[in-house]
């Protein structure tokens, strides 16, 4: 191959997604053991040669965030010490992305710190899905690729509507490319796309445009604590429409759950959610089950075990999307052409 041999390795947080990627590429995962000593230290045993190869490491830095970050750093170091040609780091969910600036005196900027550590250890190119704060890309002095999932989530919603809700809980074949206007606009006519706050307006408006004739609304709120919100107003009309709330992540559910009730009170016929990263900590699973969503769509950037799944939750795989990106990056081809 003109750009060296490609090998994909999976961290312990992203094994299922990495397996889907190599399946789409008709390849195999790199052989590697992650070892944890009784005192919590991490070690790595790479069981095949990586010399002269282009290495892609797939590892979400989701909870337990510190443990997964440390594991990723050690894997990167091991690849370089064994003469890998180039090390690409794929973090489908990038932890510590909430802190890109100081919000009060004496604050750390932990997003910048983690970026510095990854670069220092030897990450030579980064790939992420839906950063919580897009400014984080500017913290890296290496090439970055920031992928959005709004289109694939919108396509999953369209698929759900076309099949009257009779779809599988795990969706592997949802296209990430643009589908026909006829299909998009038909669903958009009766849909209002809702941004859960002003910061998420751009993401939600992109979905509204994609659906063609969709309505658009923004929730005005304040945040008394990091994990709770108080809704002040809805800017836009939701009465008689089917609402879909678009966001980048659900952690405890404290932001998303109150919106279901208020949207129904304002006349929304149905309420859906479409979120990239299902962090799901604390009582999030039970609270989301009881929230009253007609359906909730999330991606598999974070692996959800069976005990965190329920009827009405639909996981949309980004495996083929990520596989296509990795293939193009490896061959130094344009990513934007793919769309």
Which are the catalytic amino acids? 221
Strand 215-225, strand 228-235: pairing: antiparallel
d(CA 170, CA 168): 5
CA 317/CA 221 separation, integer angstroms? 31
Residue 39 contacts by C-beta under 8 Å, 6 or more apart in sequence?
none
Distances (CA, A) of 222 to 228, 231, 251: 9, 7, 17
Q: Pick from 121, 124, 70: which is nearest to 95 by CA? A: 70
* Spatial contact of 54 and 83, defined as CB atoms under 8 Å apart: no
Number of H helices, E strands in the chain: 9, 15
> Where are the extended beta strands (E) located within the chain?
6-10, 32-36, 42-46, 54-58, 86-91, 125-129, 144-147, 170-171, 191-195, 215-225, 228-235, 242-250, 270-278, 295-299, 313-316
What is the number of residues in the chain? 339
Both tokens of 241, joined, read 């429409």
Give yes or no for a contact between 18 and 313, defined as CB atoms under 8 angstroms apart.
Answer: no
**Dist CA 311 CA 132 (whole Å):** 27
């Amino acid at each position: 191959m003109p750009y060296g041999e490609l090998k994909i390795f999976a961290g312990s947080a992203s094994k299922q997604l990495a397996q889907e990627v190599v399946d789409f590429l008709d390849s195999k995962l790199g052989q590697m053991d992650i070892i944890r000593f009784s005192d919590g230290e991490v070690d790595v045993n790479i069981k095949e040669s990586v010399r002269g190869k282009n290495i892609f490491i797939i590892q979400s830095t989701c909870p337990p965030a510190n443990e997964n970050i440390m594991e990723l750093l050690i894997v990167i170091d091991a690849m370089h010490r064994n003469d890998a040609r180039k090390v690409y780091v794929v973090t489908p969910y990038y932890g510590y992305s909430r802190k890109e600036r100081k919000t009060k005196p004496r604050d750390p900027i932990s997003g910048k710190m983690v970026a510095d550590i990854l670069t220092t250890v030897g990450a030579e190119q980064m790939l992420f899905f839906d950063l919580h704060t897009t400014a984080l890309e500017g913290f890296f002095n290496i090439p970055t690729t920031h992928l959005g999932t709004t289109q694939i989530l919108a396509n999953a919603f369209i698929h759900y509507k076309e099949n009257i809700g009779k779809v599988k809980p795990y969706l592997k074949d949802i296209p990430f490319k643009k589908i026909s206007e006829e299909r998009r606009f038909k669903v958009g006519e009766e849909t209002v796309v809702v941004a859960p706050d002003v910061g998420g307006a751009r993401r939600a408006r992109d979905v509204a445009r994609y659906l063609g004739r969709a309505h658009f609304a923004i929730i005005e709120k304040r945040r008394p604590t990091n994990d709770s919100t108080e809704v002040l107003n809805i800017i836009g009309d939701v009465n008689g429409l089917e609402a879909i709330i678009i966001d980048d992540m659900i952690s405890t559910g404290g932001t998303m759950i109150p919106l279901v009730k208020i949207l129904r009170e304002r006349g929304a016929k149905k309420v859906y959610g479409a979120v990239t990263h299902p962090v799901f900590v604390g009582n999030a699973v039970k609270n989301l089950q009881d929230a009253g969503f007609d359906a909730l769509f999330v991606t598999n950037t974070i692996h959800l075990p069976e005990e965190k799944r329920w009827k009405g939750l639909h996981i949309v795989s980004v495996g083929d999307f990520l596989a296509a990106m990795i293939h193009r990056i490896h061959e130094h081809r344009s990513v934007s052409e793919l769309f």
